[in-house]
Structure 1
Amino acid sequence: KQHQVKQRYVTIDFNDVDINLFIKYISELTGKNFVVDRAVKGKVTILSPTRISVKDAYRVFESVLEVHGYTTVSSGLIVKIVPDVEARSKGIPTIRQGGTVYPRDKMVTQLIHLKHASPEQVKKMLAPLVSRTSVVIASPDSGMLIITDVQSNIKRLLGIIKAIDVPSIGEELLVLPLQHASAVNLAKSVDQLFRQQVRRLRRREIIKIIPYERTNSLIVFASKVNVRKIRKLITRLDVEVPKGTGKIKVYYLQNANAEELVKVLTNLPAESKGSNKQKGRAPLISQNVKIMADKETNSLIIIAPRDEYSVIENVIKKLDVPRRMVYMEALIMEVHVNKSFNIGVQWGGGGNFADKTGQVYSGFSGNPAPNQYDVLKGLQQSPAVLPAGFSFGILKQGVKIGNVYFPNLGAVLQAYKNDSDVNIIATPQILTTDNQKAEIKVGENVPYITSKNTTNSQQDYTNYEYKDVATTLDITPQINQSDLVRLKIGVEVIKLKNPNDISGHPTTFKRSAHTTVVVHNNETVVIGGMIGQDTSVGEYKVPLLGDIPILGWLFKSHTNSKEKTNLFIFITPHIVENSAELAGMYYEKRKNIMQHVQPGASNIPADFFYKKPDPENSMALSDIGFSELRKKEYGKARQYFEESLAIDPDNPYALLNMGVVLEHEGNREQAAAMYRKVLKVRAAQPAGKGEAAAGRGRGLRKMAEDNLKRLHLPVQPRSGPRSSATPAPRPAP
């Protein structure tokens, strides 16, 4: 029966009910016998919307009695309900040292054996922390402290006594009530300050500063000298701060956008469903925190307490990081449908086939992909045939058209720019940051006649409206942690059906595609299968005779021709990690232009071809080379170091890193010559803090000496040329 009572759940919800009726209800619920003192009177209000167990209901009952100044005293099978003041002389339970104290509101007597502290001093310290009906008795002879109070408060007092009952010589206890400052915050600051002082002086002193939030007081336990110092410091710190000062901070962002970051910080999910979200506040921190953005200086204005500001600052530092960039090359071209155009790519098509539904993948060219329904076998046997409908594919490395391999899109452009069956519409290239939309639009404004007046008025007029006839490409790249690039692609090509039409009513046709793909860095996405039709109108006539009215038709003719074309879009994303890689891309593009454009061209600046030697250019090339060296691209790194040394032969970073490359190639003597030259120019700059720099904090001279010493040690036979030399990045600015 007792087990069944424990498992029962009830709802306790009373509004202004007589306390004696509530006692009777608990008696019937728990089966306990209560003897109620005549002094027990009053009304009870309990709000409990959820069901609770009978055991918890009895704890609520004890809490209600404690709030009204009463308590329970057990006596055999009877429970007495008496005022708190009388409970001291009744048979309340006594808990000895080490006994378990539960967080209940039942009156008990706790016996505490003090090991080090004086009972009188502890009693004096605890006096303001107990209720008026509680009793604290000090027994100096036995070193004991006897406390009569509710269990929940005794549990708190035991924590305080444990902290101050430690070995000491001449320590004092002091309770300092605060008027303005927060006990918790001030305790942390003062305690940290004095602990650092004790640690610096290497003293074995005990200093304890405990905040008591209930009365906003500090409990100080330290030597007499330190107590005086702490009291003086707290008196100076516990002052009223003028409103609006001390809580306003300005954080200047280096990379993130202030307005966007405010949205993130102020729209964090609340801790509970019932919390109210307010504009400009971060619910997970507190309602007193406000964050605003200043667009002009790209900074955040934060109003928050210092302890909460540190939390916000840590979040901002994690979000305010440099964003990687993506350089995208695109090629938009039209191919005549009669042109044999076989691209080495895995093409994908989907739809319903026969009585089976679902997505089906197959290879239209290159290596055939597996086909679970085997319905595209005929197409697989003819790899030169491209899909007639919209499709896309991904090229792992370079572009293969027919049997010709092209390393990049620039090679495709160069090969087909003079092919009459291939029309290069646009070759856009654009650089954008991660997760930011980039758009390129190339075209012209074509006039459309909207109205025309040909009446008998004195002056005829025609109204025109200009519309864009253009090729538009918009891409939004998103880089994940594995260097996969998610591309959200939108392509729109608008063309005139008849470019030679002079009627003022031109007709256009539009081809567009929108898709999202995920590719690796430097892979090429191919979108194709968008077939359009070009219409051209031509007139052939005999000069002069063809212009004769009516009879002229005998000497002229009109021709209409239609040609179908297939539109292909190639897109290659390149992830740009840092400024060195961006500079390297610039030098590569510049080199390509110099190969195809002769010096002296009117539309190319002269200094584009003839750059004056500049040490900064040498350093930039050295940085690019080190970036390639970290990726173990030794061939590319060597080219940049050679260009850097051509500009500045004494560049110590290029010399040292060139030695690392030569050592990797097995040219030990040439590598040693580079290291000796570093010593000769006496470059003692500190090494950078790049992830690949093993010798952090060492000078270039030291690194060169270490590499030379290692070269003169016996070398174990190896399977191939390897290098354990330490590279040197330039220090970050």
Structure 2
Amino acid sequence: MGMFCSSPALAAGKGVVLNFNEVDISTMVKFISDLTGKNFILDDRVKGKISVYSPAKLSNEEAYNVFVSVLELKGFTVVQSGKVAKIVPSASARQSGFKLFPEGETLPVNESYVAQVTKLENISAQEALVFLQPMISKDGHISAFGPGNLILMVDSSLNIRKLHEILQTIDSERTREGLEIIYLKNASAESVATTIRQWLTGSESKPAGPAAAAAAAAGTGAGSVLADQRLNALLVFGSDKTKNAVRELVAKLDVASPEASSKVNVYYLENTDATEMAKVLDGVVKGMTAQAAAQPGAAASQASPLDSGKVTITADKTSNSLVIMASPNDYSNLSQVIKKLDRRSKQVFVQVVIAEVSLDKSRALGVQAGAVAAGALGKYLQGGGMYDPFGTFNSVLSNSAITALVGDKLKDTTRPVTGVALLQALDKNGLVNILSTPNILTSDNKEAEINVGENVPFQGSATQSTIGTTTSVERKDIGINLKIKPQISEGDYIRMDINQEISAVKNDKGQAIDLVTTKRSTKTSIIVKDKETVVIGGLIQDTEDENIQKVPFFGDIPGLGWLFKTKTKTRRKTNLMILLTPRIVKDAEDLTSVSADQRLKFGESAKKVEPVDVQKEISGK
């Protein structure tokens, strides 16, 4: 059992955009608790992942109502118990306690589990029970108390509100003459009800035949027609004569429209992929069909807004369109869904710097022959044998920011930085090796991949035969591979799933025999704000090298040979770092700005002078 307490500071927001993709229910509960100031207790059985997308800002109350509706779709509900709201499976909500609303008190406009007792004045509670029973959800409950002529309803707040609207109509003097439900197959219940009311009240030209009988009955105040959009049905009250007349009118009105003869429709998509959209819509149709099949009684055939088994959706890749075979009513419902899904997604431009930050420790023994300018000799000897032409090696290493980046603090962690000025400082002192600086633009929630390297041959197994030896060769990709999948969330934060691998051939001799490869990889998920930089490090590699330089013959003389040769041992510690700076591209203006920045940087790079010639720097010429 989990409990989440509210955070009053977050509950006073002016608007929120819900954008959750496959997050745990507990995560969204914590978010809603902080947003609304409500306290929640989670049943141990409340598990799973949910997705919510809201392009427009919602108030705190609207966000809470959406949250409760999402829980209802997953088979859970909210039960208010004092100052705490319990989230439990809908099937066991009745055993978890619920808030009882007195008659006349306004019910919340959401899917939370509540109860209300209503006293009937004109019809018996048992009659109302038989009529309302098919409209109760499968996890709801309705019962009648005869002596007090009371009805107890336990269900989602929204459903009880609808049932009350029906009770207000049927619990009147007119309903004593009976009530009938007429289910529609082709036409909209609201449209047919409006037409019949016009005939019954005589607001249009005088009817003839069945309509005349219905109008005559309406003239005495004995007829009434209500539309139930959830069931796509008509609720008809009145005498048998009125109901017969309405029934005949419905038979003439509930027919396929003239355009229904051509049920094939083509919907051209503007932003999304037709194949992916077809998969989503196919799931919607199947879900509606399953929901309709689960409804008890006569309501089963009318519970779904789509005609079960009569909708087919095919994607055409060439034109990026959907070919939909459905009735006009079904196509209208699907079109509304498509319009909401077929929207232009945002993009993310990611600047990446992959670099190796290295520190060398060298020990040299002996004398190296050669002519070196006196003024430049100190440049070689500073820093324990490391070439440091500007004399800033020690000052750079003493910087606390450098220590934080190349020291132990970076192991297995990520640290945000303000930019790449640090790498530039290291680069000037020969401490950094920039491996790659790729930039990539990708759509929100779409994976992008950068691969820079070469295809290297590796010698495989050898097979002996009568004609000789055959050796197989296997080729492998060696180099830098980076996969990034960005996902934009609320507040211009970006979650990035990163999978990076750097491989290389160790001591490459130019042959495919006995090749040894090294590989450094990292796989992580980070969250960073728009236009901020995050650095990932900690992939440290230690290498030791020994090098002997000598004068031929003289360097081999025992004892005296050290006067003519130099032995150098170098220990190198290399820390691989990845710096990523994502930028959200919301529209064409942002894309133009990004492109202009890249063109400017390219132009500046092209104008740079050639690298400094080290030999000229040493000789002073």
Q: State TM-score, norm by structure 2.
A: 0.48
Q: State TM-score, norm by structure 1.
A: 0.41
Larger Cα-atom Rg: 1
